Amino acid sequence: MNPVKVLFFATLRDRAKTRMVELQVPPGATIAELKTLLIQQYPGLGGLMEHCLAAINHDYKFDETVIPEQAEIAFFPPVSGG
């Protein structure tokens, strides 16, 4: 298993009721798979997590990106503005 640190920002932090969580993900897991796992563990994230931006070790990544070992993954909710 691959230990990762997951950081939640803004609305995600409120819905997960935590700022950070450390998890074990399978080797070769993608951002999309991690999002699914997080929704299962934190149901309040459902409906929002699918549209979030993800950054691995401070670089924005796509859902199909494989998570490297011992990564720090930050999730940012979508924002709107004018």
Residue 8 lies in a domain: yes
**Residue at 82 is within a domain:** no
pLDDT at 57: 98
Q: What pLDDT is recorded for position 80?
A: 65
CATH of the domain at 42: 3.10.20.30
d(CA 79, CA 15): 16
pLDDT (tens digit per residue) in 43-55: 999 999 989 999 9
- The C-alpha angle 58, 48, 34, rounded to 5 degrees, equals 55
Give the pLDDT score at 79.
Answer: 78
- In the numeric block, which tokens belong to residue 48? 């929002």
Length of the chain: 82
Domain that holds residue 52: 2-76
Show the low-confidence residues of the chain (pLDDT under 70): 80-82
Predicted pLDDT at 81: 61
Is pTM beyond 0.85 here? yes
- Consecutive H or E run containing 54: strand 53-56
Q: Annotate 37-48 with b (16+ C-beta within 10 A) or e (fewer).
A: ebbeebeebeee
pLDDT for position 82 = 56
